[in-house]
Amino acid sequence: LPLMAKLQLNGVEQGEADEGITAQNLADFLKQNGFETSYASIKSIVTIFDSSLEGKIDFEDFLKMVLSQ
């Protein structure tokens, strides 16, 4: 499930390169799936889990984010 969500989040299903998940990717995904939240909140989440400090979440960061308790 986490892998499929990540693929959908950053457009791999549409043939785009896997370059990580940005706050905008996450905001768009949540909105498309019926969740409303502020962009500032989403940006904060990305900042917390972004281990490379590049403004995006890679696969390892993504797993930590969705599997953390």
Alpha carbon of residue 7 to chain centroid: 10
Q: What is the reported pLDDT for 8?
A: 61
**Residue that the structure tokens 């990540």 belong to:** 6
Q: How far apart are CA 38 and CA 22, in angstroms?
A: 14
The per-residue pLDDT for 12 is 47
pLDDT along the chain (69 residues), means of 10: 58 56 86 90 94 90 81
Judge contact between 66 and 5, C-beta under 8 A: yes
